[in-house]
Each structure stands twice: as C-alpha cells, then as structure tokens.
Amino acid sequence: MITGLENVVLTALPQAEENVLVPKLSELIIGIIAFGVLVIGFFWLAWPNVKRVYADRTERIEGGLERAEQAQREAQAALEQYLAQLADARSEANRIREDARQQGREIIDDLRTEAQAEAAQLRQRAEEQLAAERAQVVASLRREVGSLAVDLATRIVGHELASDIRQRQLVDDFINALESQDSAAGPSR
C-alpha cells in the first residue's frame, strides 16, 4: 500500500506520458492571444512614435546634408571670390609697380635733362669767364709788351716817343704783326 508520503512524491513526479517540451493547448492559446495583444499595442501605440522618430531623424540627416552642401557651396563661392580679389589685387599691384617704374624713369630723365642743362650753363659761364679773363690777360700783356717795346725802342732809337697815342698805335701794330705771324704759323704746326 502506498503511504501519504509516497503519494506526494508520485504526484510531484511527472508522469511518463506527459512531454515537458510540448505546451498545453490552453497555455498555447493564451500565449498567442498575449502576443497578438502585444503586437497590436506596439503597432497602435509605439509604431507611430517609431515612425515619427524615424522621419525626424531622416529629416535631420537630410537637412544636415543639405546644410553641409549649402555651406560647401558658400565656401566654394567665398573661395572663388577671394581668388578673384587676390588676382585683382595682384594686377593692381603690378599696375602700381609699373606706374612707379614709369614715374621713376620720367624723374630720372627730367633730372638728367636738368643736369645736362645745368652743366651746359656752367660750361658756358666758364667759357665766358675764361674768355673774359683771357681778354684781360691779353690786354694786360699788350700794355706790358707795349711798354717794354717802347722802352726797348727808346733805348734802340735813343730818344723817347713823344705821344701816348703814337705809343699805343706802335704797340698795337707790333702785337697785330705778332698775331698774324702766329696765326700763319699755327695751322702748319
């Protein structure tokens, strides 16, 4: 006979006919209904939020891409504008440099012309001064030569020449004769 303790052990042990891996039909139906409720709840409550978050994220990514493309286009336009301004600045600098060179050449030419004119004036003044000094020297020499000639003539002739006018004429004739001899002898030398 089976005692109470054996009865409890036998009821606790699964029977060999039941398979633990196969669920009971009632549990299977309750699981399917619970799963259906969860799926319906997910699509009714959570799916709109998932779609909204997905749409927001897609829009943010596409907007970010568009903003990045716009920023890249603006940066490219700014770069092109900068390069154009740089090219303009370079051409302006070249133009200014060429103008400065041209002005420098003109200034040098003007200074050269002024220096040449000044040199010509100095040369002319020097020649005039030299001619004036030469004339003074020649006049001084004439007087000295004249007085020496008169003294010599007086000693040779033995008497003094009476008038100053006659002495000057005699000196002038003597010097003219010397000059004509020098000029006749000069080209043949």
Q: Is the pTM of this model over 0.75?
A: no
Q: Which two tokens stand for residue 149?
A: 């000639």
Nearest Cα neighbor of 161 from 149, 179, 173, 174 is: 149
- Does 91 reside within a domain? yes
What is the rounded CA–CA span in Å between residue 53 and residue 48?
Answer: 9
Q: At what angle do helices 47-157 and 164-185 cross, to 10 degrees?
A: 120
| 102-127 tens-digit pLDDT | 999 999 999 999 999 999 999 999 99
| 117-166 tens-digit pLDDT | 999 999 999 999 998 988 888 878 777 877 777 777 766 665 555 567 77
- Does 92 reside within a domain? yes
- Does 10 reside within a domain? no
Q: How many domains does the chain have?
A: 1
Range of the domain at 108: 33-177
